[in-house]
Structure 1
């Protein structure tokens, strides 16, 4: 194999690696479901939501949440993933609200 051909092959491999690495953050998801029960006892499951942004739960809020995804999440009592009252929910765990407390209304993904 000529030196020029090896250089071209190596350069192509490097460019391909950089291109894949540069695009790897696009469209990333949690990989797995996040399931919850609303205040009205309706079971909801969201499969592989995006790792970006704030995700709203049902309008009535969630009283129980099971994080069966491959990433940790943070639950909030507000609709915009803000506020002092938040709950950290690691992978493969579940949590329920304490009676008399507000339901969770949104979550964000820890990444």
Structure 2
């Protein structure tokens, strides 16, 4: 094997390693959309949210939510994804609050 061929093979291996390492750092997302209606009847669509962390909804909260992602989510009436009275919303389903209850203000992704 020539020196040139070895150098080319080594360079290719290094570039492949760097490419794979770079891609593994990308954040994973919930593929699809989460659509919701605010307390002021405005429609909001979130496309492919991160599967990590707590996600805040509009300041007025959400009264209806459609989960059109490939993963399940949990909705919370608090801004920090904590507390009781959470609502489990499976993939490809929707829900709306019962009249007289607090709107949802945040959600987290189950992964």
> Which of the five TM-score ranges fits, normalised by the shorter chain?
0.7 to 0.9
SS at match of 2:64: strand
Shift of 1:24: 3.8
With over 3 angstroms needed to count, the CA separation of the structure-2 counterparts of 1:21 and 1:71, relative to structure 1, is farther
The answer to whether 1:44 aligns with 2:61 is no
The answer to whether 1:67 aligns with 2:67 is yes
In structure 2, the partner of 1:89 is 89
TM-score, normalising length: structure 1: 0.80
With over 3 angstroms needed to count, the CA separation of the structure-2 counterparts of 1:39 and 1:47, relative to structure 1, is same
Structure 2: tracts of 5 or more residues without a match: 1-5
CA–CA distance in structure 2, aligned partners of residues 53 and 20 of structure 1: 24
CA–CA distance in structure 2, aligned partners of residues 72 and 56 of structure 1: 16
Structure 1: tracts of 5 or more residues without a match: none
Instruction: Spell out, residue by residue over 1:16-35, the C-alpha distance to the aligned partner (whole angstroms, 9 max, x if none).
Output: 5xx84895463100011000
TM-score, normalising length: structure 2: 0.80
Number of residue pairs the alignment of both structures matches: 102
Cα RMSD of the aligned pairs, angstroms, is 2.2
